[in-house]
Chains A and B, each alone.
Chain A
Amino acid sequence: MIHISVNGQMQMIEDGVDPKTPLLWVLRDHLNLVGTKYGCGVAMCGACTVHVDGKPVRSCQLTVGDVGTKAVTTIEGVGKTPIGAKVQAAWVEANVPQCGYCQAGQIMSAAALLSHTPNPDDSDIDAAMAGNICRCGTYIRIRRAIKNAGAKSV
């Protein structure tokens, strides 16, 4: 049986789940954590981004068997961290979401960025966010929200 730590809780993955199953589908279909989104399945869109030991990782590519003892944080749990909460607040403040489907992934990428670069410049933002597609075109507000979140100390 596979055990993984998600949002600070140890989760047992039921028997019969192939360890090669991408973390994305285990979160969504087995742990009812549907905030993490499926967009492309090939690491091209970023909708499925979660944190693994604090780093942004595409959960459509990481198999549940490869998670091991690392701590997984999803959009449902990131608000419990000061940086995550700050990013979420900045997102609401800037009214970023349009359809909103990409935004969980965007927020996870942004929170990871701010955790190692508290005051990111444009180049940092490009480097961290280029892998997240927003089909609705909310990029201007995403950039603004990240800068606003960065400007506020935790």
Chain B
Amino acid sequence: MKKVSIALAVVVVIALGYSGWLYTGHNATSFASGSTVALEDYKAANPTGVPAELADKDLVTRGEYLSHAADCQACHTEPGGTPFAGGFAFNMPFGTIYSTNITPDKETGIGNYTDAQFLNAVHKGVRANGENLYPAMPYTSYTLMTDGDALAIKAYLFSLAPVSSPAKVSNLKWPFNQRGMLPLWNVMFNSGERFRPNTGQSPEWNRGAYLAEAMGHCGECHTPRNVAYAVNNHRKFAGTLTAGWHAYNITGDKESGIGDWDEASLFSYLHTGHAEGHGGAAGPMGEASDNSLTFLTEGDIHALVTYVRSVPARNSDLPEKVKTPASASHKEGDAVAGLDGVRGEKIFAGACMSCHEWTGVSPVTHYATLTNVRAVNDPSGTNVAQTVVNGVDRQTPQGRIYMPAFGEGYSDDDIAAVSNYVTARFGAKGATLTGKDVADLRNQASQKKAATKEAPNG
């Protein structure tokens, strides 16, 4: 009886979500003026495929580039595990699901997939055995991808060594464990259409749109979702909480978005995962940067910048960032009131000050400067706390970016205290995290780092 009524409620929720979604949210690029045409009717340039530099490379090389663009590896690799062998955990409010093995292993991977079966998975979220995938696999984005590009990726994946790695059993609460409901969801939320270029926009914009929507699936993290867990494009790129991290507003809003970033900063951020004066990528964005964006050509990054900057500004109640350094004296400046403020200060003094300084301007590397960084100016303190817990460990073409992870050595209370302190001292408004909040954030974060990750000096 109870189950039936919950199922009914779910149907109602999905229906509600659907109507809202139909209204404005279903088309990722509908914000742009101009009309769209089928790809084959678009003559200005080819917005799909690999950039010109790679056009004459073999299929596998092209597929490798595209697999980076689509960022397959980040989700299909367990921390410390073999790339593409799956096992990465998605901790969602309604349970945990694991990514699958997409190496060409015949038993546990996709070694037996035909082209048609592969396309079905990428475009429709349907496995070779007919089972529906959960939309943690971003097939509602990938559905925009051309057949040629998807099959190039397949060729690349099939060039890899097969790894035997059986799927881990997902653990979802009822009714979400009912895969049978997914076709209904798909009918409503998966357009099933390939990318349609916009003749009113530049070729560069169209390339950017293809990269952002069909490949990089930016909106999967940066666009809020509706009640039915489908991306809600009328708040396109306005930022939301994904896997315990805040994926920030990347619309042109001056206060809460990236309206105040210049072209060069955006380019640098997307190209390297860091922009001087704005801070660097950490957490899931750090992974997207290291596994995907840093592999793209400069031309493709420029295209992405053009496209992202065209998305309408949306305000998302994040305050304007503080652009001036804090005082050099620990005694001056905004602090958290009460005893825990003092505690936050002392922890900062011991564990953080060496790199971040009392001013927030790092004396050792601009990667560690806190001034004008969005996470620090987010009064929720979410990403500050996550960064303190998980640290940063990124391999970039410019070298390794490293901050130790404090999650094992410091208590939730202490991480809350120092996060509150950091946001108050260097940001717009102090966070008010409690130890319990930090515990929740830890649980939401997708997956812990491998146990014995070494620091850069050792």
Which residues of A are in contact with B by a Cβ distance under 8 Å? Answer: 20, 22, 40-44, 46, 52, 55, 57-58, 60-63, 66, 116, 123-124, 126-128, 130-131
Option from B353, B404, B455 in Cβ contact (under 8 Å) with A127: B353
B399 on the A face (CB < 8 A): yes
Contact with A along B422-456 (1 / 0, CB 8 A): 00000000000000000000000000000000011
Most buried by B among A20, A46, A130: A130
* Contact yes or no, A62 B364, CB < 8 A: yes
Option from B345, B354, B358, B402 in Cβ contact (under 8 Å) with A58: B354
Q: What is the CB-to-nearest-CB distance from A83 to chain B, in angstroms, rounded to a whole number?
A: 17
Alpha-carbon gap, A131 to B348, bound state (A)? 9
* Contact yes or no, B353 A131, CB < 8 A: yes
The size of the chain B interface, using a CB distance under 8 A, is 22
Known contacts: A126-B349, A127-B330, A130-B353. The answer to whether A42 contacts B404 by CB under 8 A is yes
Alpha-carbon gap, A113 to B363, bound state (A)? 16
18 more CB-based (< 8 A) A-B contacts, given A44-B354, A127-B345:
A20-B399, A22-B457, A41-B456, A41-B458, A42-B455, A44-B404, A46-B354, A61-B355, A63-B365, A116-B328, A123-B330, A124-B330, A126-B346, A126-B349, A127-B330, A127-B358, A130-B353, A131-B349
* Contact yes or no, A42 B457, CB < 8 A: yes
CB-CB under 8 A from A63, the residues of chain B are 365
Which residues of B are in contact with A by a Cβ distance under 8 Å? Answer: 328, 330-331, 345-346, 349-351, 353-355, 358, 363-365, 399, 402, 404, 455-458
CB-CB under 8 A from A20, the residues of chain B are 399
Option from B351, B354, B365 in Cβ contact (under 8 Å) with A66: B365
* Contact yes or no, B455 A55, CB < 8 A: no
A-B contacts, 26 listed (Cβ < 8 Å): A22-B457, A40-B457, A41-B456, A41-B458, A42-B402, A42-B404, A42-B456, A44-B351, A44-B404, A46-B354, A58-B354, A61-B354, A61-B365, A62-B363, A62-B365, A66-B364, A116-B328, A123-B330, A123-B331, A127-B353, A130-B346, A130-B349, A130-B350, A131-B349, A131-B350, A131-B354
* Closest partner residue, chain A, to B351 (CB atom): A44
CB-CB under 8 A from B404, the residues of chain A are 42, 44
Alpha-carbon gap, A30 to B396, bound state (A)? 28
* Closest partner residue, chain B, to A48 (CB atom): B354
Q: What is the CB-to-nearest-CB distance from A89 to chain B, in angstroms, rounded to a whole number?
A: 26
CB-CB under 8 A from B402, the residues of chain A are 42
Option from B346, B363, B399, B458 in Cβ contact (under 8 Å) with A55: B363
Alpha-carbon gap, A41 to B358, bound state (A)? 21
CB-CB under 8 A from B363, the residues of chain A are 52, 55, 57, 62
